Amino acid sequence: MAETASAPANGGAPGIEARFAIARPGFTLRADLQLPGRGVTALFGASGSGKTSVLRAIAGLERHAGGYLAVNGAVWQDAQRFVPTHRRPLGYVFQEASLFAHLDVARNLDYGLRRIPPAARRVPRAQAIELLGIGHLLQRRPDTLSGGERQRVAIARALLTAPRLLLMDEPLAALDAQRKAEILPYLARLRAELDIPVLYVSHALDEVIQLADHLVLLDAGQVRASGPIAETLARIDLPTAQSASAAVLIEATVQGYDSAYELLRLGFAGGELLAPHPTPLAPGTRLRLQVQARDVSLALAPAPGSSILNRLPATVTGISSADTPAHMLVRLDAGGTPLLARITRFSCDQLHLAVGLPVWAQIKAVALLG
């Protein structure tokens, strides 16, 4: 008889523990991961880095000798057992929604729900519909939906299978920028409102910064880094920091709004930031901010008379070469919050930058990520 994933025993280790060694012609993957048992973990890297291979091994779609997988105390694979995919309590969302074309949205959802006994259901049907904003789509067929709407239905259907783990394999890769912007807030709601760990595969840094709590960086089949996303993005020894798109994540809280200039006043551990926004947000609202390294300049003293609104005292904590000979990457500490600045090598020399030097970080633009 096929083995079924059992519930965690009392005292079972929380979190996701995964160890896989996968060898194929021209490619070897070695992954030894200790991941949080809640929130969103992003598997990030270029195409061919091994992201989907890790996800497929976790799903049980590929079986590799010597592999080990435990999810919040329940062992799904070890030397003695291998729980097949159909008996693992997981949901899987692919790049394409793969809805049943002959069924309307309501019956697509019911297909996922019918697989689970009522006592085992974790997300009520009404909650899944509300979280993904698909109530007005229930009577429509998949061929009448936009790409973003189809993916939202696919995610809702996956939630109705009572997963203890949700796997998402580049779910936005087939969408254009507009559709991607429409669906990202719904994915952020899942992170905030559901207690189901998510493994999210992507090669798009903007998605990762908006959604992830934990970041795994894969490169040519090797795990280069694994840790909380804010800390990991600010590491200047990693490829994520070396490129022109390097950015850090800041968690901030709305403190006020200037209606005359349509500026939000945002507080965080390093001080205060101003960000353009067309409407006020309630004080206390939590926001994620993306600050790109190329939008941060440095000065040795505060510069009055500048159009740059955001100037923060900071300390240089690291200096590294960037991906071009003309640029340098500077890591900063702003009141306990890490920042990155991408500046010219010439400016670095002219300012005599060194670890421990106090500077002023001038932030040109801040992207609100909700």
Give the whole-angstrom CA distance, residue 139 versus residue 144: 10
CB atoms within 10 A of CB 349: 10
Tens-digit pLDDT profile for residues 7-37:
444 345 589 999 999 888 888 899 999 999 9
Tens-digit pLDDT profile for residues 208-240:
999 999 999 999 899 999 999 999 999 999 988
CB 229 within 8 A of CB 212: yes
The arrangement of strands across the sheet holding 74-77 comes to 74-77, 68-71, 16-24, 27-35, 222-228, 214-219, 40-44, 198-202, 165-169, 90-93
Give the whole-angstrom CA distance, residue 43 versus residue 168: 10
Question: Can you list the domains of the chain with their CATH numbers?
Answer: 16-232 (3.40.50.300), 247-368 (2.40.50.100)
CB 369 within 8 A of CB 288: yes
The pTM for the full model equals: 0.88
CA-wise closest residue to 248 among 205, 217, 219, 218: 205
pLDDT of residue 84: 95
pLDDT of residue 262: 94
**pLDDT tens for the chain, residues 1 to 370:** 345 555 444 345 589 999 999 888 888 899 999 999 999 999 999 888 999 999 999 999 988 889 999 999 999 999 999 999 999 999 999 888 889 999 999 999 998 788 787 777 788 899 999 999 999 999 999 999 999 999 999 999 999 988 999 999 999 988 888 888 889 988 988 888 888 999 999 988 888 999 999 999 999 899 999 999 999 999 999 988 988 889 999 999 999 999 999 999 999 999 999 999 999 999 999 999 999 999 999 999 987 778 898 999 999 999 999 999 999 999 999 999 999 999 999 999 999 999 999 999 999 878 777 5
pLDDT of residue 37: 92
Structure tokens at 137: 């789509």
Locate tokens 């600045």: which residue?
A: 341
DSSP structure class, residue 248: E
Sequence-ordered list of residues with C-beta below 8 angstroms from that of 213, at least 6 positions apart, any chain: 36, 39, 40, 41, 191, 228, 229
